[in-house]
Amino acid sequence: MNSLDAGYETNGFYDEMLAASGRPRPGYRRLYEQLNRLGPRELARRHDLAMQMFRNHGITFAVYPDAEGTEKVFPFDIIPRVISAHEWHRLEAGLKQRLAALNLFLDDVYGRKLILRQRAVPPEIVLTSPQYLREIEGLPVPHGIHCHIAGIDLVRDRKGEFFVLEDNLRTPSGVSYVLANRHVMKRVLPDLFAGYPVRPVEGYVHELLRHLRWLAPEGVDDPTVVLLTPGINNSAYYEHLYLAKQMGIELVEGTDLVVDQDHVFMRTTRGLKPVHVIYRRLDDHWLDPIFGRQESLVGVAGLVNAYRAGNIAIANALGNGVADDKAVYALVPKIIRYYLGEDPILPNVETYLCAFDADRRYVLEHLEELVVKTVDESGGYGMLIGPESTKEEREDFARRIAARPRSFIAQPVVALSVQPILDGGRLRRTHQDLRPFVLTGPEVYVTSGGLTRIALKDGSLVVNSSQGGGSRDTWVMAEDETEDVDA
């Protein structure tokens, strides 16, 4: 592939597609040959086709609601990521284990608090999380499932080992891209699929709807499920729209619902229609002006009390933020051991909690080598990347850490794995991560693969959509040919 990979360097990062020799890894061999056969011009043409399909399909997003109302298509690379069946088997087991433990943790923390009483994890970390909602203690949670839909961010280090980077247990987004990417790839590059037993991903929609219907209160034969969105100004609105359409459920906003005598209804042209399950993409604090922020115009007054009365199911449940708090993240290996008596299958990235004196001292002394993150924010903001920072930035962070230690954690820089993207006819390395989605319901279901997010800016480690990221299709093999199994 002289025309395609001339000048491609990996700089010591783990390249998912190309081994150190520059030859493709076993699982990518056939793909590599196909890409070469098509050549850069044809691939560029297929890429343009793909982007057009995304636009027509309505898969767009808004970073900040554009005054012009033009939505942007999420950047996409046509080279898929390949994960062997063998590798996936381990990842899936690790994800299921992690979610099982996190659900038990949430149930315990908002219930009997045994893990805290026994000091198996420090209460001063868990209870001081800004997302810990004491007000929901004692709220009955059907089946003890708090997190019905999770998005777990995985990364690979220099040796190609998978780590969990972050848990997202409240309103994780991105699965619409997983579905759309595959839909487009099948139409734009069908030949690439030849010889690859790729596991389908469209089952997710069916499974999600099945899980949601299963949550309905007892005695309801044909439950009405809705997706509650904050509305068009939310950056993930187009995912809400897409999922609602795919599942064939109504997309509602707060003003469309009303609670009367602890029952939830939808305002329709034929009067009030009962609602039984809400898949909500609204933050806890905005969900119900009686429960959370009174000025919330996007919520439904009385919803939480209707939930308490057992008349409406809500996915995800309230209060999950305490478990995806970045400081509590550091405690998850202990949490897994406590509830399941097992060692974690998927390791955490080493994390320093500035709330602890020893950790804080270490962090302040090694700021240039670490990534410092605030506990409360997402989207990659409020972060210091040590090796790329200026002295002023480090001093600023040092001040902030000293003032509010509990709000900061630090991790060594993870050398995220890379994979080439096709950029102007040539291959260019970009970092990527993986976000599988996990559904916990009657069973636990994991998307085959998940969303691979790529950092488009050269050398950037930041993959979030709000900061110039993109994605590619992720293929999990249904089975491996013996020679495809990578060391």
Partner 1 sequence: MKLEIVHTTRYRYSGPIAETVMEVRLRPMDGNGQRCLEFDLELSLGIEARSYRDGYGNNVHYFNLIRPHTSLTVTSRSVVETGGKPDADLGEDLVHDFLRFRSPVKEVPGIRQLALRHPIADPSSGSSVELALDELTVAISQEFAYDRAVTNVYSSVDEVLALRAGVCQDFAHLFIAVARTMAVAARYVSGYIHAPGAATTASHAWAEAWVPGRGWVGYDATHPIRAAEHHVRLAVGRDYTDAAPTRGIYIGSATGGMEVSVRTRDLSASH
Partner 2 sequence: MLSRAATSLTLLGRHLERADHLARILGVHVALSLDRTDEPGPEFWTRFMELAGWRGSDTGRRDQAVEVIVTGSLGPSVRSSVAAARLAAQAVRPSLPSELYEQVNALHWRVQEPTWQPDLYPFLTDVQLSIRLFDGLLMDTMQLDEPRDFVRLGKFIERTANVTTIVTRKSAELADTPEDALEWSAVLKSCFAFESYQSRYSGGVTAERVIECLLLDPTLPRSARFSAQVALDSVSRIDGPGRHSKPRRLLSRLHSMFVKAGTQLVAEHPREFESACRDVLRQLELAMRATYFHPSKVPANVIGDEGRAMPQQ
Give CA–CA dist 325/323, Å, rounded.
5
Show the DSSP H helices in 248-299 as ranges: none
Amino acid at 135: E
- How many Cβ atoms from other residues are within 10 Å of residue 280's Cβ? 26
DSSP β-bridge partners for residue 476: 83
The only residue of 88, 105, 132, 238 in contact with partner 1, by rule CB under 8 A: 132
59 is a contact residue toward partner 2 (CB under 8 A): no
What are phi and psi for residue 273, nearest 5 degrees? Answer: -115, 130
Show the DSSP H helices in 141-272 as ranges: 175-188, 203-214, 237-247
278 is a contact residue toward partner 2 (CB under 8 A): no
Residue among 245 and 366 whose Cβ is closer to partner 2: 245
Q: Which two tokens stand for residue 331?
A: 């405690």
The only residue of 72, 130, 255, 369 in contact with partner 2, by rule CB under 8 A: 255
Residue among 355 and 444 whose Cβ is closer to partner 1: 355
Residue range at the interface with partner 1 (CB under 8 A); choices 47-55, 78-86, 259-267, 393-401: 259-267
Q: Which residue has the tokens 């590599």?
A: 32
Nearest to 432 by CA among 6, 13, 4: 13
Q: Using CB under 8 A, which residues numbered 92 to 151 contact partner 2?
A: none
Give CA–CA dist 451/433, Å, rounded.
8
Residue 374 Cα distances to 151, 186, 378, angstroms: 19, 40, 8
CB of 242 to partner 2, least distance (A): 10
Residue among 266 and 349 whose Cβ is closer to partner 2: 266
Provide the CB-side half-sphere exposure for 401 (13 A, CA). Answer: 28
Residue 88 contacts by C-beta under 8 Å, 6 or more apart in sequence? Answer: 448, 449, 476, 477
Give CA–CA dist 446/100, Å, rounded.
13
395 is a contact residue toward partner 1 (CB under 8 A): no
Amino acid at 107: D
Binder of residue 133, out of partner 1, partner 2, none (CB less than 5 to 8 A by kind): partner 1
CB of 23 to partner 2, least distance (A): 44
H or E stretch covering 78:
strand 76-83
Residue among 251 and 409 whose Cβ is closer to partner 2: 251
Residue range at the interface with partner 1 (CB under 8 A); choices 44-52, 57-65, 287-295, 326-334: 287-295
What are phi and psi for residue 416, nearest 5 degrees? Answer: -55, 145
Show the DSSP H helices in 110-174 as ranges: 114-117, 123-126
Nearest to 232 by CA among 65, 35, 423: 65
CB of 261 to partner 2, least distance (A): 18
Residues binding partner 1: what is the number (CB under 8 A)?
Answer: 31
The only residue of 2, 20, 21, 138 in contact with partner 1, by rule CB under 8 A: 138
Give CA–CA dist 87/251, Å, rounded.
37
What secondary structure letter does DSSP report for 348? Answer: B
385 is a contact residue toward partner 2 (CB under 8 A): no
What secondary structure letter does DSSP report for 198? Answer: B
The secondary structure of 457-486 as a DSSP string is: STT-----GGGTEEEEEEEEBSS--GGG--
Q: Which two tokens stand for residue 84?
A: 């062997």
The only residue of 63, 258, 383, 385 in contact with partner 1, by rule CB under 8 A: 258
Q: Using CB under 8 A, which residues numbered 68 to 127 contact partner 1?
A: 113, 116-117, 123-124, 126-127
Residue among 226 and 451 whose Cβ is closer to partner 2: 226
Residue among 174 and 299 whose Cβ is closer to partner 1: 299
The only residue of 2, 261, 269, 482 in contact with partner 2, by rule CB under 8 A: 269
The only residue of 289, 333, 441, 469 in contact with partner 2, by rule CB under 8 A: 289
128 is a contact residue toward partner 1 (CB under 8 A): yes
232 is a contact residue toward partner 2 (CB under 8 A): yes
Residue among 300 and 461 whose Cβ is closer to partner 1: 300
72 is a contact residue toward partner 2 (CB under 8 A): no
Residue among 19 and 139 whose Cβ is closer to partner 1: 139
CB of 211 to partner 2, least distance (A): 21
**Cα of 82 vs its chain's centroid, Å:** 19
241 is a contact residue toward partner 2 (CB under 8 A): yes
Residue among 224 and 419 whose Cβ is closer to partner 2: 224
264 is a contact residue toward partner 1 (CB under 8 A): no
The only residue of 11, 64, 69, 194 in contact with partner 2, by rule CB under 8 A: 69
Residue among 267 and 366 whose Cβ is closer to partner 2: 267
Nearest to 192 by CA among 75, 47, 74: 47
Give CA–CA dist 97/252, Å, rounded.
33
Q: What does the binding site for partner 1 look like in residue numbers (CB under 8 A)?
A: 113, 116-117, 123-124, 126-128, 130, 132-139, 258-262, 289-290, 294, 301-302, 305, 308-309, 404
Enumerate binding residues for partner 2 (CB under 8 A): 56, 58, 68-69, 232, 241, 244-245, 250-253, 255-256, 266-269, 289, 294-295, 297, 301
